[in-house]
Amino acid sequence: MSEENNINSWDGLLTNYLKAENIPGDIGSDAVVVCYSVKRKEDKLDLNVEYAEKKWLFSLNKTNMAFLKTKGIQAPKEIIGKKLTLQKSVAMNPTSKKEVPTLRISKINK
What backbone torsions phi and psi does residue 67 show, to the nearest 5 degrees?
Answer: -60, -50
Domain extent listing, the chain? 14-109
| Listed residue (17, 56, 25, 62) closest to 44, CA to CA | 62
Per-residue confidence band for 15, with pLDDT thresholds at 50, 70 and 90: confident
Residues 34-62: tens digit of each pLDDT = 999 999 999 999 999 999 999 999 999 99
DSSP state of 26: S
Residues 16-33: tens digit of each pLDDT = 999 999 999 999 999 999
Per-residue confidence band for 1, with pLDDT thresholds at 50, 70 and 90: very low
CATH topology of domain 14-109: OB fold (Dihydrolipoamide Acetyltransferase, E2P) (2.40.50)
